[in-house]
A = this chain, B = another copy of it.
C-alpha cells in the first residue's frame, strides 16, 4: 500500500483514541457521578496513552517521510504538512509526560471542583503544584529563548511570544481604561430584570431556536449542560457544545450557547479530509476563539440580530414585551466591572485576561509560588478592575484552566477578540448588505464567509499566515479598539 494510505489509516486510528479521550472528558464534565472520578483519571490516562504512543512512534515519522517522497494530491500534501508540524512539536515532549499530565489534570480537576465548591484554595494547591511541575518540565522539553512561558504559549498560539503579548496589552489596556472613563459620562443602559423566573426547559427551547438560526447541525452535534461551558469534538459528525442556565436570566445561557456554537460551527466547517483529530485541525486557540467571539459579541450582542430574534424571544418569554428591542440590546451591552470573567462585558473582558496572563506567566516561570495566588489575584483585580472578590471561589478559583494545565491559554481569549474584530472588518467590506442579512435572520451569510475564508483551511496555515491571507495584513489591534469605541459610544449615546 502507498505510504500516504498507511499514514491516513494511522491518523484515523489515532483519531479514534482521541475520540475516546474526548468522550471521557465530555462525560466527566456533564453526567459522570462523583465516585467515578478516581477511575476516570486512569481511563483518561489510558486513552491518552493509546493516542500519544501511536502518534509519537518512530514509525509515524518514517511514514511521514515516505509519504512526502511519494506523489500526493494537494489535499494529501496539506495533511502531511499538518501532521508533520504537529509530530515534530509533540515529539519534543516524552509520551510518558503527555500521559502523566492527563492523569494529573483529571485529578486536579476534581480537586479544583471541590475547592471551588467549598471556597478552600488549600484543597486545590497541592494538585496544582503537581500539574505545574509537569508543565514546567514540558516547557523545558519544548525549549524557549526567553522564558519557559513562551514554550507553553506556543502550544496554543503558534508563533507568538509573551513579550509580544505584553506589547499588545499596553495600548489595549489604555484604550479600555479610557473607554471606561468615557462611559461614566454616558447614558448607562437600564437592566431589564423581570421578576419572572425563566424555566430551564423554555430556556433550552430558546437556545435551540438560536442554534437553528445559526445553522449549527444538530444531527451532527448536541447541546448539554455543564458547570463550565465548553465545546468538544469526537468526530466530524459529533460536535458537542454545552451551556449553563441561570433561572433568573435567560441571556446568560443564550450568550454561552452563541459562544460555544461559534466554536462548534468552526469544527463542523472543517472539511472532512482536514479534520484529522480535533486538536490538530485548527491553527490555534486564538483563531478558534475568534469564531466564538464573532457569534457571541459580533452577532448575538448586535442590534441587527435582535431585530430578527426579538419576536422569537417573545414567543417563548412574552414578559419581554415591556421592553423595546433597542433597550434590550443596550441592556445586553451594559458595561460594569465584575468579578467573573465568563460573565464580563466586552469592554472589561480583556482586562480579566491581562491579570491572568501576568499571574500565570510569573507562576510558570517560577517567579511566584502557588501559595501566593489568592493574594496576587485580589491585588490585580483591584488594580485592573477596581473591585475585589470576597471569596476565592469568585476569585482565583473561578476558572478551570490551571487545573487542566492550560498555562498560556488565557491570552488566546484576548487574541480571539482581536482576530474577530479584524476578520469582521474584512467581512463587512466583502459583504455590503451584511447588516441587513443579520437583521433578517439570514445568518448563513456571515457563516458562508467564515466557511470560505477560515473554516475551509483547517490547520493548513499558522495563525499569523491565516490572518494575513484573510485580511491582507498582520494582527492589528486597531480594528478592535475602533470597533469597541464606536459600538459603546453608540450604546452609551456619547
* Residues on A facing B (Cβ under 8 Å): 13, 16-17, 19-20, 23-24, 27, 31-40, 42-43, 46-47, 50, 200-201, 217-222, 224, 234-240
Q: Are B23 and A219 in contact (CB under 8 A)?
A: no
9 further contact pairs, Cβ within 8 A, besides A33-B220, A39-B236, A40-B238:
A20-B24, A23-B27, A33-B218, A33-B221, A33-B238, A35-B219, A36-B238, A37-B237, A201-B201
Copies in the complex: 2
Q: How far is the CA of A221 from the CA of B33 in the complex (A)?
A: 5
Q: How far is the CA of A377 from the CA of B220 in the complex (A)?
A: 35
Identity of the chain B residue whose Cβ is nearest the Cβ of A221 in the assembled complex: B33
Identity of the chain B residue whose Cβ is nearest the Cβ of A33 in the assembled complex: B222
Q: How far is the CA of A224 from the CA of B33 in the complex (A)?
A: 12
Q: How far is the CA of A39 from the CA of B201 in the complex (A)?
A: 31
Q: How far is the CA of A240 from the CA of B217 in the complex (A)?
A: 28
What's the least CB distance linking A161 to chain B, in Å? 38
Q: How far is the CA of A217 from the CA of B219 in the complex (A)?
A: 33
What's the least CB distance linking A21 to chain B, in Å? 9
Q: How far is the CA of A200 from the CA of B200 in the complex (A)?
A: 12
Q: Are A36 and B201 in contact (CB under 8 A)?
A: no
Q: Are A19 and B43 in contact (CB under 8 A)?
A: yes
Jot down 20 A-B pairs with beta carbons below 8 A, ordered by A: A16-B42, A16-B43, A19-B39, A20-B20, A20-B46, A33-B220, A33-B238, A33-B239, A34-B219, A34-B220, A35-B219, A36-B234, A36-B238, A37-B237, A38-B237, A39-B234, A39-B236, A40-B238, A50-B50, A200-B201
Q: Which of B200, B236, B238 contacts A32 (CB 8 A)?
A: B238
CB-CB under 8 A for A16 and B220, given A23-B23, A39-B235? no
Please name all residues of chain B whose beta carbon is closer than 8 Å to the beta carbon of A43 when the two chains form the complex. Answer: 16, 19-20
Please name all residues of chain B whose beta carbon is closer than 8 Å to the beta carbon of A16 when the two chains form the complex. Answer: 39, 42-43, 46
Q: Are B222 and A31 in contact (CB under 8 A)?
A: yes
Q: How far is the CA of A217 from the CA of B33 in the complex (A)?
A: 10
Identity of the chain B residue whose Cβ is nearest the Cβ of A234 in the assembled complex: B36
What's the least CB distance linking A318 to chain B, in Å? 19
What's the least CB distance linking A488 to chain B, in Å? 38
Q: Are A47 and B20 in contact (CB under 8 A)?
A: yes
Q: How far is the CA of A37 from the CA of B234 in the complex (A)?
A: 11
Please name all residues of chain B whose beta carbon is closer than 8 Å to the beta carbon of A39 when the two chains form the complex. Answer: 16, 19, 234-238
Q: Are B27 and A27 in contact (CB under 8 A)?
A: yes
Please name all residues of chain B whose beta carbon is closer than 8 Å to the beta carbon of A19 when the two chains form the complex. Answer: 39, 43
Identity of the chain B residue whose Cβ is nearest the Cβ of A46 in the assembled complex: B16
Q: Which of B24, B35, B240 contacts A237 (CB 8 A)?
A: B35
What's the least CB distance linking A42 to chain B, in Å? 6
Identity of the chain B residue whose Cβ is nearest the Cβ of A218 in the assembled complex: B33
Q: How far is the CA of A222 from the CA of B40 in the complex (A)?
A: 15
Which of A42, A200, A220, A238 has the most B CB atoms < 10 Å from its CB? A238
Q: How far is the CA of A33 from the CA of B224 in the complex (A)?
A: 12
Which of A19, A35, A201, A235 has the most B CB atoms < 10 Å from its CB? A35
Q: How far is the CA of A285 from the CA of B37 in the complex (A)?
A: 28
Q: Are B35 and A224 in contact (CB under 8 A)?
A: no
Identity of the chain B residue whose Cβ is nearest the Cβ of A12 in the assembled complex: B42
Identity of the chain B residue whose Cβ is nearest the Cβ of A31 in the assembled complex: B222
Q: Are B224 and A36 in contact (CB under 8 A)?
A: no
Please name all residues of chain B whose beta carbon is closer than 8 Å to the beta carbon of A32 when the two chains form the complex. Answer: 222, 238
What's the least CB distance linking A13 to chain B, in Å? 8
Q: How far is the CA of A42 from the CA of B222 in the complex (A)?
A: 20
Q: How far is the CA of A342 from the CA of B39 in the complex (A)?
A: 33
Identity of the chain B residue whose Cβ is nearest the Cβ of A17 in the assembled complex: B46
Q: How far is the CA of A234 from the CA of B28 in the complex (A)?
A: 12
User: Which 10 pairs, one residue from A and one from B, show the smallest C-beta to C-beta distance?
Assistant: A35-B237, A36-B238, A35-B220, A39-B235, A36-B237, A33-B222, A34-B219, A35-B219, A16-B46, A20-B20
Please name all residues of chain B whose beta carbon is closer than 8 Å to the beta carbon of A37 when the two chains form the complex. Answer: 237
Identity of the chain B residue whose Cβ is nearest the Cβ of A20 in the assembled complex: B20
Please name all residues of chain B whose beta carbon is closer than 8 Å to the beta carbon of A35 when the two chains form the complex. Answer: 217, 219-220, 236-238
Q: How far is the CA of A119 from the CA of B128 in the complex (A)?
A: 55
Identity of the chain B residue whose Cβ is nearest the Cβ of A238 in the assembled complex: B36
What's the least CB distance linking A115 to chain B, in Å? 18
What's the least CB distance linking A329 to chain B, in Å? 31
Q: How far is the CA of A46 from the CA of B17 in the complex (A)?
A: 9
Q: How far is the CA of A42 from the CA of B18 in the complex (A)?
A: 13
